[in-house]
Amino acid sequence: MSADKKLSKALEQVKQSVDDFSERELTEELRELLEYGVPPDQAAETVIRRKGRSDPAAAAGEKKLADAVPGERGLTVEARVLDRRDRTIKVKGEPREIVSGSLGDETGVLSFTSWNEFPFEEGDAVRISNAYTREWNDRPELQVGDYTEVEEIAGEDLPPAEELSSPRDVSIRDASRAYRPRVEATVIDVLDRSGLVMRCPECNRVTEGGECSEHGPVDAEPDLRIKAVLDDGDSCIQATFPREVTESLTGVTLEEAEEMARKAMDRGVVQREMERVVGRAVVATGRVLGDNFVALDVEEPESSPEDDARELLEALQ
Ligand SMILES: [Zn+2]
C-alpha cells in the first residue's frame, strides 16, 4: 500500500469516530505515526484514543507547564529551554533531524520534541503556540509540529534558568515533575545486575558474555553501579546509582570491586556487597528518565532533632 493510501485509509477510520478536529490536524498526527512504521489501523486507533481523552471541543489555550496533560492540542506555553539535544532518527529509512529537550517554568518541567528547526539555546525564553501533547512514560510531552509557532520572548516573568534547573525538594510521586528532583528516601531493595557490570565501549550498553546486543563481541569495559528501589513512605521508584555515586555510597571503588571479584572468582560477591546499602536513608538528587530515577548525587540526610536527642542520650549513658 502506498504511503498516501495508508494515510487516507487511516484518516477515514479516524473521521468515523471523531469529528470535532480539523482534517489537517488529524492528518499531521497520522502522518507522523505512519512515518514511524505504525500500521494504518493501529495509527488510526492511537489518534482516536488521543482525541477521545482530550476535550474535543476546545483547544487547550495558554497553560502553565504543570497543568499540561497528554492529548492536548492548541496548547500555548511560555517557558525557558533548560536543555536541548539534536538527534537524527530514521523515518522510513531516511535520516531526519529532530530536537528534544526540557522546558521549565515556575510550576514545573515538560519534555518536548521538535520536528522542525528549533533555533533556541539553553536559557532562552520562548513562547510556543499551537503545540500539542502526547503521552510518554505516563507524562505529557509537548510536540512542536508543523503548525506550531515558536518565538523568543524577553521572559521577565520566568525565573532564570539556573534557578529552574537547581535541585528541588520533592516527594517521589512528584519527582518526574521537577527538572532536578531531590528526594529523601530509604533504599528498600538492591536489584539484580547491580555491582560489577561490563559495558560496550561504543554504546555504553551492558554486555552479556562480552557481547553487545548492538555491536556484537566487544572489548567490554568494567563499571560499577547499583540498581535500587527508593521509598519515601508514600511511593517508590526504581533508581540507578552510577559509578561515582555507588563508590561514595558503599565506600567501595571500582578497582576494589574488581579485586574482590577476582579473589572470589565470582562477581556475585560485589552484588552482595552492594546489597549492604539496603535500609540506608539517603537524600538523592537526580533526574527521572522514564520510570527510572538516575541519581547524580547522594548524601546522608541531615539528622532530625529526634536523632540528635537520641545521640545525646546515648553519649550521656
Ligand atoms: Zn554496543
What is the per-residue pLDDT across 186-245, written as a single tens digit (0 to 9) for each? 999 999 999 999 999 999 999 988 899 999 999 999 999 999 999 999 999 999 999 999
> For residue 74, which of 30, 122, 4, 132 has the smallest C-alpha distance?
132
The CA 291 to ligand 1 mean position distance, Å, reads 23
- Partners of 97 in the beta sheet? 88
The CA 214 to ligand 1 mean position distance, Å, reads 5
The pLDDT tens digits for 231-289 are 999 999 999 999 999 999 999 999 999 999 999 999 999 999 999 999 999 999 999 98
Task: Say which residues have a Cβ less than 8 Å from residue 180's Cβ, sequence separation at least 6.
Answer: 165, 166, 167, 168, 285, 286, 287
CB distance 6 to 34 below 8 Å: yes
Whether residue 57 has pLDDT greater than 50:
no
Instruction: Give the Cα-Cα-Cα angle 10, 14, 16 (nearest 5 degrees).
Output: 120
The pLDDT tens digits for 118-159 are 999 999 999 999 999 998 877 899 999 989 999 999 999 999
The CA 204 to ligand 1 mean position distance, Å, reads 6
Residue with cell 574488581: 258
Strands 75-91, 125-136: pairing kind: antiparallel
CB distance 164 to 103 below 8 Å: no
* Cα distance between residue 293 and residue 174, in whole Å: 12
The CA 210 to ligand 1 mean position distance, Å, reads 10
DSSP class of residue 301 equals P
The CA 162 to ligand 1 mean position distance, Å, reads 34
Whether residue 56 has pLDDT greater than 50:
no
